Amino acid sequence: METVLEVRNLQKSYGATEAVRGVSFELRRGEIFGMVGPNGAGKTTAIECLEGLRRPTSGDVRVLGLDPQTAGPALLERLGLQLQQSAIPDRMKVWEALDLFASFYEKSTDWRALAESLGLAEKFNAYFKNLSGGQKQRVFIALALIHDPEVVFLDEISTGLDPQARRAIWDLIFKIREQGKSVFLTTHFMDEAQTLCDRVAIMDHGRIIALDSPNALIQQNRGGERVELELEHPGADVGFLSAIPGVASVTRDGKRVEVRGVGGRLVSAVVRALDANQIDYYNVSSARATLEDVFLKLTGRALRD
């Protein structure tokens, strides 16, 4: 598959702060690639180095075959950028912003249809300062897509959006992929990353600590399934659960038991083993592990920064 973006050993320091400590990956044509990570992990720094907005301390970045530091406006014509922090003058109306941004590019799409698909039709005449947080975010997404770019960068796409707007944006992103374009996004919503992304990089402390498809990350890191139950008798010995084929871990917290493992029949195997050993239990539930489980396992649960 064709590569549209290539990063080799990207590093970026701000004085003594090493925000990005050597990351390498590529983005393929027609791929939705997500970067996730705790606050301060270095996602915005990395994405803005790819966009040419920040100068890397070292490393090699190629976007559509060009170095974004030196490529100039010809490259920007082909990239769509939505930044984590953006601003439009308060006294500018929504339609004026869309019209103005469209005029910056040689190629432009029908911005009305685009903005309408993002639910902005009724706000064309509103001043930017009078939009709600989520409406502002929709404007920024429309501005990023207004010139039909080949590679789209979205830093925190759905922050502040209501569920309808999130879905509308997911649909838009899938449409962009259908057209053979590529999307690089960051998000704090693991369900979003799991649903949208072909591949996800988990970033922590400036490094990529895992990179694969969401399913592969889940399989590699947590086993596929989780079964939870409560024991009638907190003292009951359930050591035999660890011996069930496919079980990766059994954790006990008082009368609560959590079994993780692979294989679609984990829950029935657990229940059969409990019955065979005459252990009383209740509240059995079973769920597939999610990207959020993987994220918390790999980056820890403690709050940082």
Ligand X SMILES: Nc1ncnc2c1ncn2[C@@H]1O[C@H](COP(=O)(O)OP(=O)(O)OP(=O)(O)O)[C@@H](O)[C@H]1O
**Interface residues toward ligand X, by CB under 6 A:** 14, 17, 19, 37, 39-45, 84
135 binds, among Mg ion, ligand X, none (CB under 5 to 8 A by kind): none
We find the least distance from the C-beta atom of residue 202 to Mg ion, in angstroms, to be 14
Nearer Cβ to Mg ion (12/260): 12
**Helix, strand or coil, per DSSP, at residue 177:** helix
Nearer Cβ to ligand X (19/257): 19
In whole angstroms, give the CA distance from residue 155 to residue 33.
Answer: 12
Strand partners, 5: 27, 63
We find the least distance from the C-beta atom of residue 140 to ligand X, in angstroms, to be 15
DSSP 37: -
Long-range Cβ contact pairs of 247-253 (< 8 A, separation 24 or more): 248/222, 248/223, 249/223
Nearer Cβ to ligand X (146/185): 185
We find the least distance from the C-beta atom of residue 192 to ligand X, in angstroms, to be 14
We find the least distance from the C-beta atom of residue 24 to ligand X, in angstroms, to be 17
137 binds, among ligand X, Mg ion, none (CB under 5 to 8 A by kind): none
283 binds, among Mg ion, ligand X, none (CB under 5 to 8 A by kind): none
We find the least distance from the C-beta atom of residue 236 to Mg ion, in angstroms, to be 47
Which residues of the shown chain bind Mg ion in the complex (CB under 5 A)? 43-44, 84
Q: Specify burial of residue 30 (Cβ count, 10 A radius: 0-12, 13-18, 19+).
A: middle
Angular region, 283: left φ>0, alpha ψ -120 to 50, beta rest:
left
Angle ∠(64,69,75) on CA atoms, nearest 5: 40
Nearer Cβ to ligand X (150/155): 155
Nearer Cβ to ligand X (45/82): 45
In whole angstroms, give the CA distance from residue 145 to residue 84.
Answer: 15
